[in-house]
Amino acid sequence: MVTLAAIFPPTQPPERIGAVAAAADAAGLAQLWVWEDCFKESGIATATAMLATTSRVTVAIGLLPVPLRNVALTAMELATLSRLFPGRLMAGAGHGVLDWMGQVGARVESPMTLLREYTAALYALLHGETVTTRGRYVNLDAVALDWPPAVAPPLLVGGIRPRTVALAGELADGVIIPGGVSPEEVRASVGHLHSQRSAGRGPADVVVFISVPAGSPAPDIAAVVRDYAGAGATCVAVNTDEEDADLARFVGVLAREVRPLLS
């Protein structure tokens, strides 16, 4: 069965993080996703606060824009969280919004080259490997984590275009597909993902972000989720399009009213 998740968007102020995370935990929601958008909340800081105030829900970061972050630092941060909260963290990496990357002086000439080098290095570091690489953008000299995670967090890559989705299939544990994409487009992306999946990687996660109007009835939300599950999504993360929505109530609706309709 498809995993149903909620999204805590960075349009919500940080002061609401604790209440929303507690509501998701109490309702038994499987996953709570956070975004790292410029210039709002840090994905790492938000995930840390959520994990520290809950005991069950998996917190997933979708996604960390790689031009902003040295790969060794990202590996250290994710490893620390994974050791503190084993099995409760997922992380996504991606190009980031290119205009934002330019705004902070971090835009690169070849985003695909950076994402490939970064994903390969980050995956290896999180799995306890010593990494030496001389790339166009990522350069590491015998780098290894002193405290690698006992349980490496699933690492996903965000994107929708065929080359990025294929990279996710080749190098990561799955793909994050952004909102505004139809089930037919998701089905095509799943094909690209699996076309590059090596036998040793195991099954790939396909996370799809969707947005629903505020106050949508539970059966309507469930119908949309089923459409994306039928297209190959393994997880559908739901956001409400009301900027000032009561997210604590919304995650309760997802867990108690929508999820039973999916079984």
Angle at 248 between CA 209 and CA 152, to 5 degrees: 55
Write down the pLDDT at residue 148.
Answer: 98
Structure tokens at 51: 């994990």
Tell me which CATH code domain 3-258 carries.
3.20.20.30
Mind giving me the DSSP string for 45-104? HHHHHHHHT-SS-EEEEEEEEGGGS-HHHHHHHHHHHHHHSTT-EEEEEE---HHHHHHT
Write down the domain spans for the chain. 3-258
pTM for the model stands at 0.95
Enclosing H/E stretch for 252: helix 247-253
Instruction: Report the alpha-carbon distance of residue 235 to residue 4 in Å, rounded.
Output: 6
pLDDT tens for each residue of the chain, 263 residues long: 899 999 999 999 999 999 999 999 999 999 999 999 999 999 999 999 999 999 999 999 999 999 999 999 999 999 999 999 999 999 999 999 999 999 999 999 999 999 999 999 999 999 999 999 999 999 999 999 999 999 999 999 999 999 999 999 999 999 999 989 999 999 999 998 988 887 667 889 999 999 999 889 999 999 999 999 999 999 999 999 887 789 999 999 999 999 999 98
